[in-house]
């Protein structure tokens, strides 16, 4: 199967995030099925698109001023928190690429499906956790009221 979706059609971070969540839903559905070669192909299709989205998301971030620029513009001293989240994001991107490669290269998918499916489920949990932490930091920045000085 060839990848029929071009990630270049995604032109905003919001669209990228929305598409990632749709793909994660597809991934969850595939992982609930009994492992066979057919769902391995579909799993790889979804993983390939998710992996292809990574550089697109990075470019969109750079085009909008950088990762979490809206937070750093308002609170430059939050750089350590933003950098910590960014490093987690890069680690998750790398981990997903590695999992995809292991699944792609596995000759006996059925034999290792439970283990790799569990690792993918763990990755999805970490991905959701990262997005919650990012949203929380953005919300904190938006709601923080410095108040008038004395």
Each residue's pLDDT tens digit, 100-120:
999 999 988 888 999 999 999
Q: For residue range 2-16, what is the model confidence (pLDDT) as tens digits? A: 445 667 678 898 899
- Does 129 score more than 90 pLDDT? yes
pTM attached to this predicted model: 0.86
Categorize the per-residue pLDDT at 139 as very low, low, confident or very high, splitting at 50, 70 and 90. very high
SS3 16: helix
> How is the chain split into domains, by residue range?
9-146
Name all contacts of 23-28 with Cβ < 8 Å and 24+ positions apart: 23/49, 23/50, 23/53, 24/50, 24/124, 24/127, 24/128, 27/120, 27/124, 28/124
pLDDT over 50 at 47, yes or no: yes
DSSP run (H or E) holding 41: helix 37-63
- Which tens digits make up the pLDDT trace of 64-110? 999 999 999 999 999 999 999 999 999 999 999 999 999 999 988 88
């Amino acid at each position: 199967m060839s990848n029929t979706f071009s990630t270049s059609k995604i032109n905003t971070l919001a669209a990228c995030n929305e598409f990632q969540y749709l793909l994660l839903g597809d991934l969850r559905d595939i992982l609930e099925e009994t492992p066979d070669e057919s769902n391995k192909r579909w799993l790889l299709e979804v993983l390939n698109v998710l992996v292809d989205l990574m550089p697109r998301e990075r470019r969109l971030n750079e085009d909008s001023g950088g990762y979490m620029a809206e937070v750093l513009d308002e609170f430059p001293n939050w750089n350590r928190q933003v950098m910590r989240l960014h490093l987690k994001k890069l680690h998750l991107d790398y981990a997903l690429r590695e999992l995809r490669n292991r699944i792609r290269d596995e000759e006996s998918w059925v034999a290792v499906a439970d283990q790799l499916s569990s690792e993918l489920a763990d990755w999805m949990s970490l991905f959701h956790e990262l997005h919650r932490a990012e949203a929380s930091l953005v919300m904190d920045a938006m709601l923080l009221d410095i108040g008038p000085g004395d």
